[in-house]
Structure 1
Amino acid sequence: MIGAATAGVPTLRPVADLLVVLPALNEEDSVGRVVDEVRRARPDADVLVIDDGSTDATAARARDAGARVMVLPFNLGVGGAMRAAYRYAHDRGYRYVVQVDADGQHDPADLRRLQERMSDTDVVVGARFAGIGEYEARGPRRWAMRLLAAVLSRLTSVPLTDPTSGFRMVNQRALSLFAVEFPEEYLGDTVEALVLAHRAGLRIGQVPVAMRERTTGQATQNVFRSSAYLLRVVAAIGLAVARRAPEIVSAPERHEVK
């Protein structure tokens, strides 16, 4: 279900160049504030909240803040939510799509910096461990993330300090790929997605960003489960590289949407 920003008032207009996507699961305490921040930072962009099977008022709070809302019938995880968002954006001809956390950890002020980097990349990652901010990972999670960063950097021939960051922007070439093929498992939407992009010949880059502390809700994975899965993803990278390179289909023409 996709609702317009103002319920009951159908409005037709050309899509914006940029679609800001907030995948959200039970983020009623933060999603409205984040939508407000995004709209202030990028008033020229459209904002889409993917309500990923929430059992609270996430969808209502997002609509009240002026976002479009896609309500999924049950929880698909971030990967499934973003695949739905990429298909939505691809079918409507958006030129850029950026994923922003609904819990407020990503700073919308960085959106323009990410888009500026799109001049020579197809996928740009907002990297936490690149010299800006004080965010730190500790213990096994830190070791696993460093290992993943080293593997992905070597594989893509691009220095990547934070391949698990969900703060990333794509252009139409990457959008055409991700609308059809996008990993849905936990962390597949970040790490394996970069492998897919590289295998498809897309250009990958990163921009240093400062991560903010979560102020509401709880993380969906604890440190130990995250660390174990990060190590599993390293093995999955080899399988992703071995399979046939994905093909990129052309994007449709831009058109007016409701």
Structure 2
Amino acid sequence: MLTFDRISESGMDRIGVTPDQLIIAGWTGRDEAAVQHHIEELAAIGVPPPSSVPVYYRAAAANLTQAKRLEVLGPDSSGEVEPVLVSLADGLWLGLGSDHTDRKAEAAGIALSKQLCGKPIGQGLWRFAEVEGHWDALVLRAWATIGGQEVLYQDGTLAALRHPRDLLARRPGGPALPPGSLMFCGTLGAIGGIRPASRFTMELHDPVRGRSLRHAYEVVELPVIS
């Protein structure tokens, strides 16, 4: 079960949720030419292209975690901050999470790599209707601790990503996201390139309402034993 603090104009409450569906939307950049160029770059190094753009990967809902430590197998995984749409009985809410992914496995199959790692998600949620109109102004940031130093890893506005209504309209199965479902909505490029870290800190900032959601987790590498 996940625990969320729901923050809205009417106040704040806490709710327990047992999610039953996890969707990870990929290739959600708004600049279609740039997305295609990146697909071709990855294809040149052996990463298979997506079956559609955007593409909707499925992963086990049990992979979602709010723990402060994430155990991963080996040194080849990394986090990436994403806005997360959460569907509850009273409508849509917005939080943030990390699509932590095994990069070595990504070359064998992106869907496989998505499934191999836990998906950290923060406790804070905003009512989606309260930010929907200024989605493009929301700021997504992440910091990674690499070699003992914390560096800015990702930084940009959500104007770079497709609006969630667009993603929902294109989603197989229709635009309605059933209660109990969570959808990761895409990410921004990593500053200095994708690389592993011992700690990952993420933030979703709303400059219009002057508030932020934050979450952080330690990454613990398990040995690869053959």
Q: Which has the higher helix share?
A: 1
Q: Which has the higher strand share?
A: 2
- TM-score by length of structure 1 reads 0.28
